[in-house]
Structure 1
Amino acid sequence: MVMDYLWLFATAGGAFLLGAAVAYAILRQKPLPPAAKEAQKQKIDELYERSPENRTR
C-alpha cells in the first residue's frame, strides 16, 4: 500500500518538476534586440535567395 503511494509521488512529482523546469526556462527567455533580429532576418533572406544549384553542402 505504501509502495503504491511512493510510486504515485515519484511519477507525479517527476512530471511536476519537469513541467516547472520547462515553464521556468520559457519565462527566463529574453527577446532578441532589434539589431540582432535584423541581422537574423538578413541571413535568412540571404539563405533562401540562393538557388539550389549554388548551395554548398
Structure 2
Amino acid sequence: MENYIWLFATAGGAAILGLALAYGLASQRKLSRAEKERQDDKVEDLYGKR
C-alpha cells in the first residue's frame, strides 16, 4: 500500500506540473503588430540602436 501512495505522489506531481506548463503555454497570445512595434521602440530606447 505504501508503494502505491509513493507512486501516486510522484506521478501525480509530475502530471500536475505538466498540466500547469501546458496551460501556461496554451494561454499565451501573440503580440499584435502595434504592440510588437511599441516593444521594439522601447527596446531600442533602452539599449540604443546597434
Bin of the TM-score, shorter chain as denominator length? 0.7 to 0.9
1:32 aligned residue: 31
Matches within 5 A, 1:10-49: 10-49=9-48
Gaps of 5+ in 1: 51-57
1:4-56 Cα distance to aligned partner (Å, 9 max, x none): 11111111111111111111110111111110100000000111118xxxxxx
Divergent runs of 4+, >4 A: none
Identity %: 49
Say which structure is richer in helix: 2
What TM-score comes out, normalization by structure 2 length? Answer: 0.86
Greater C-alpha radius of gyration: 1
